[in-house]
Structure 1
């Protein structure tokens, strides 16, 4: 999976570093409610230079897109139930936030060890 203008291949250390950034970087981007930006940028920049980084960036990107969709569904549920959905959504969001943080950390650790990671409950839009 190489193209002429992609640049030189990454070293094993660089691959692990950028794969880790694809996961943990979403915590920085999430401050701006754009958690998907970090893995999207890493995927766009490194997808032809490293299959390992591409796999991790795609997995992180798909997880972030899935979280965005789940959040939109929760907002619609609150709106449709005239606010009563808050009683269900707020505890689920709190639990979901903790679970998301844990799986992001697990994915980052897997990337630092040179292993692949699959996020749970992820809709795989980007391949």
Structure 2
């Protein structure tokens, strides 16, 4: 682990310490890379842990080096200039409706609803694909978790977890659907993600 000398020597340019906002911005960029499919869940967790402990911009650079746009010299520190990736086109009204339907369809069809949306519209819109995959993974988590929880209903902790999961199932897809209709990003908490992009 590199040790940073807090006392600048002659000829050295002192490093400015990162702020909480810098670390938050780095975490947000990592989550966007995960949402785009450039990081898997384990890589995201590892890099977020390092980002939250970073003290100097140089500590963040290795986290973004392989996520840089080709030809961009600095990919890492939140306040360093960087070449932006090609921006994703804003979702159309139709895309927002399909993305919202991916979440809402779970109420009637569990994982089958989001899977149908993914198959029908996933290749035409990255926005719809991202929401449909997130909805599909959440519904799979609910189904598997409910089976395990109610199968072990005689134990207190699995039964409690299954009950909390079902309560979340009543509200979270509705919230996710509203976020999708507003054109935002959504990530379900405590979700198993067996279906990954690519």
Q: Smaller-chain TM-score range?
A: 0.7 to 0.9
- Equivalent residue for 1:57, pick from 129, 132, 141: 132
Q: Tell me, yes or no, if structure 1 residue 96 matches structure 2 residue 165.
A: yes
Q: Distance in 2 between matches of 1:88 and 1:49?
A: 42
2:112 aligns with 37
Q: Tell me, yes or no, if structure 1 residue 71 matches structure 2 residue 146.
A: yes
Structure number with higher relative contact order (C-alpha < 8 Å, ≥ 6 residues apart) = 1
Which blocks of at least 5 consecutive residues in structure 2 are unaligned? 1-90
1:14 aligns with 94
Count of paired positions: 106
Q: Tell me, yes or no, if structure 1 residue 47 matches structure 2 residue 122.
A: yes
2:180 aligns with 111
Give the number of the structure whose residues are more often helix, by fraction. 1
Question: Once superposed, what is the RMSD of the aligned Cα atoms?
Answer: 1.8
- CA offset at residue 93 of structure 1? 3.5
Runs of 4+ more than 6 Å apart = none
Q: Distance in 2 between matches of 1:74 and 1:92?
A: 7
- CA offset at residue 91 of structure 1? 4.6
The alignment's TM-score, normalised by the length of structure 1, stands at 0.75
- CA offset at residue 90 of structure 1? 4.8
Q: Distance in 1 between matches of 2:96 and 2:144?
A: 28
1:93-125: CA deviation from partner (whole Å, max 9, x where unpaired): 333222222211110111010011000111111
1:51-94: CA deviation from partner (whole Å, max 9, x where unpaired): 1000000000000111111112113323xxxxx33x55555433
The alignment's TM-score, normalised by the length of structure 2, stands at 0.49
